[in-house]
Amino acid sequence: MKRSEINDIMAQADAMIRRHGFALPPFAYWTPDAFASNAKAARHVIDARCGWDITDYGAGDFNKMGLFLFTLRNGLQGDLTRGGGMCYAEKLLISRQDQLSPMHTHVLKAEDIINRGGATLVVELCGSDDDGNFAPDRGGQVMCDGVMRDYDPGEKLSFAPGESVTLRPGDWHAFWGEGGDVLIGEVSTVNDDETDNIFRDPIGRFATIDEDAEPTHLLVSDYGRLL
């Protein structure tokens, strides 16, 4: 992805988030220089990889397969292993109309995926085999707004604004916006995007960036290189 495209997506996402009555935290608007100046005090933000995250999954066509994310808060894996402390995470996501977030699951993370506003969120579901691998012939159970329901393999569930689904490790899922763009909330256990995203197909989690412009704000994938 071109850095100029990423800068534009950030601006568009910020505008959509504000239209739905949400506001990002102050560190979201730091320039790269301001982030470097605040790096010591903001060590948790850096270590927990909170902030802007825009991906095309390495496929090179963001509108067809991609996702906008902003990690608002996140604990550390040490807290989760210890069973105490900050064992939770929260994100805002934007799934554009017909923009696929491809089939994947998590080994550790359980998550509530919430339609916070906009169009319809569609989630396609499949189960796992006994080893946790993608099983196109297996369904399972998920909780939708506190109510358990069975799902058939490959079933597509639709969620209007305010509705949600709880996904546990082994629930394979893909999602996209139907009829327009969707603002999504994610509330989960500690999030580790570097190691805990298991994709059905061999794709990357983060975009490769063509630095054709200066970054407006840093991505979480910039932290290791620049901070």
Query: Count of residues for the chain?
Result: 227
Task: Report the share of the chain in percent with pLDDT over 90.
Answer: 94
pLDDT band (50, 70, 90) for residue 62: very high
CATH superfamily of 3-226: Jelly Rolls (2.60.120.10)
CA distance 199 to 25: 30
Residue 186 is inside which H or E element, if any? strand 172-189
Q: Name the amino acid, one letter, at 222.
A: D
3-state secondary structure of 32: helix
pLDDT tens-digit readout, 111-125 = 999 999 999 999 999
pLDDT tens-digit readout, 93-110 = 999 999 999 999 999 999
pLDDT tens-digit readout, 178-216 = 999 999 999 999 999 989 999 999 998 899 999 999 999
Q: Is 21 left (phi over 0), alpha (psi -120 to 50) or beta?
A: left
- Mean pLDDT score of the chain: 96
CA distance 132 to 162: 30
Confidence at residue 204, expressed as pLDDT on a 0 to 100 scale: 85
